[in-house]
Amino acid sequence: MIDTSVCVHCGLCLPACPTYQETGMESSSPRGRVFLLEAIAKGAEPSLESVRQIDECLDCRACEEVCPAHVPVGHRVDQFRRDHPQWIRRSGSGMREQRVVRWLTTPLGLHGFHWAVRLSQGPRLRRLSQRWLPLPLKSLSRGLPKTMPRQLGRARWRSKAVLEPGGNRLVVGLFLGCVMDAVFATTNHHTADLLSDVGRFVEVPMSQRCCGALSFHSGDIEQARRLAVANIKAFESVAEVVVNAAGCGAFFKEYAEIFEESSPWQAPAKALAARVVDVHQFLDDHRLPNLDQRPLPEARLTIHDACHLAHAQGIRQPLRDLLLRAGYQVIEMPEADRCCGSAGTYNLSHPAMAHRLKQKKAADVPQEVSGVATSNPGCMLQIQAGLQDAGRLLRVAHTVDWLWEAYHGNSH
């Protein structure tokens, strides 16, 4: 049982919570949710409204970061969702995505997803999909990149041997992700290039799978454990595993929490968690060359701090340092670390709140920038869609993509 009893109800978390900011209701604040959860834990029969309020939590971890006693509200809500799927279902949200997620996390499903997304980008299907897709998907599909690679990132690696097993210390494992690999495969290749730039051999184990975060957060803990075990085995031989998706990185670092205390996988999960390094941290620690004397043509960027990078992993400055060193100018947006509403599959399960947060985020993007840098596939889709909705022709890309363009792109 995740413990919220250390909460003394001081209320310092309130302004940090995106849903409280939107509704102004105590019950949709972290402290309010602790109240509701405590009442249910004491045996009160929850009303539909209270379940709805609890389940409207984005799990963005902003409250956990500002809490003086680090009360794990997001974790606790997540556990509530897993423990009481029947209540969540009755409240009319969540859980519908569980089957989709299970399919997506199989290799075949991932290929299917990739092709479905690719096909949907054809001009005709695009027009058709804009008419027939349910609203949340329609909006999200507007955030997809215009041109998508033909294959999953992993397929190209399988056909082309990039592995040059050298001295052990210089080999890093690269984690590819699921949505990341299906929709943003180029970002994975860019990541590999930059890792080579700082003198690393990149190993991409083909037996790696989705990190399991989507399964876990949609309540499917068994599937999450299976995926975790596959990844623990896949990355057994590398000293460091570089992850470029914020959500995956944060989930890897918490791998131990998904296994029972007595599970034999507990220790290996901890060991993997300790070897996982976020790509920004890695590239910042292992210095890319300084290009700041050469300003880039599309040079003004703003940063959206992905929740699971900023709040869950405490990584903010490395993104800024990297972009500055690569010759970009960074113009900060207000509340850069406020959730964009993507939040895993939240934009599918809670379309209304996700939509409000998406609009708010798009409106926060300063007028004078030419692009947005962020670090999670969900955020990239969501913010791109939000800007599209607002009629703004800005590109949203992974920080790694912006860096790659500076170090490898045509302008140099």
Helix %, strand %, coil % for the chain, to 5?
A: 55, 5, 40
Q: Of the two residues 65 and 389, which places its CB atom closer to another protein in the complex?
A: 65
Using the contact rule CB under 8 A, the part of the chain among 9-17, 154-162, 167-175, 283-291 near another protein is 9-17
Q: Of the two residues 28 and 223, which places its CB atom closer to another protein in the complex?
A: 28
Using the contact rule CB under 8 A, the part of the chain among 19-27, 190-198, 279-287, 358-366 near another protein is 19-27
Amino acid occupying residue 17: C
Q: Of the two residues 32 and 94, which places its CB atom closer to another protein in the complex?
A: 32
CB atoms within 10 A of CB 121: 15
The answer to whether 9 contacts another protein (rule: CB under 8 A) is yes
Here the tokens at position 148 are 């998508």
CA nearest to 22, candidates 341, 306, 332 = 341
Q: Of the two residues 200 and 320, which places its CB atom closer to another protein in the complex?
A: 320
SS3 353: helix
Here the tokens at position 23 are 């509704």
Pick from 5, 168, 196, 207 the residue near another protein by CB under 8 A. 5
Minimum distance from residue 9 beta carbon to another protein (Å): 5
The answer to whether 124 contacts another protein (rule: CB under 8 A) is no
Minimum distance from residue 166 beta carbon to another protein (Å): 38
The answer to whether 352 contacts another protein (rule: CB under 8 A) is no
Cα angle value 382/386/391 (rounded, 5°): 145
Q: Of the two residues 24 and 166, which places its CB atom closer to another protein in the complex?
A: 24
**240 forms bridges with which residues in the sheet?**
172
Question: What is the C-alpha radius of gyration for the chain, rounded to an integer number of angstroms?
Answer: 21
**300 forms bridges with which residues in the sheet?**
329
Minimum distance from residue 239 beta carbon to another protein (Å): 29
Pick from 7, 144, 229, 353 the residue near another protein by CB under 8 A. 7
Site pattern 66..105 for another protein (x: CB under 8 A) = xxxxxx----------------------------------
The answer to whether 20 contacts another protein (rule: CB under 8 A) is yes
The answer to whether 8 contacts another protein (rule: CB under 8 A) is yes
Minimum distance from residue 277 beta carbon to another protein (Å): 23
Q: Of the two residues 7 and 357, which places its CB atom closer to another protein in the complex?
A: 7
How far is residue 192's CA from residue 153's CA, in Å, rounded to a whole number? 11
Residue position matching structure tokens 């934009």: 347
Interaction residues for another protein, span 33-72 (CB under 8 A): 33, 35-36, 39, 44, 46-47, 49-50, 53, 65-71
CA nearest to 365, candidates 400, 347, 401, 389 = 389
Q: Provide the CB-side half-sphere exposure for 154 (13 A, CA).
A: 21
Q: Of the two residues 9 and 131, which places its CB atom closer to another protein in the complex?
A: 9
CB atoms within 10 A of CB 42: 7
Here the tokens at position 273 are 């968690």
Asked if 165 and 205 count as a contact pair (C-beta separation under 8 A), the reply is no
Using CB under 8 A, list all residues that contact another protein.
5-16, 20, 24-27, 31-33, 35-36, 39, 44, 46-47, 49-50, 53, 65-71
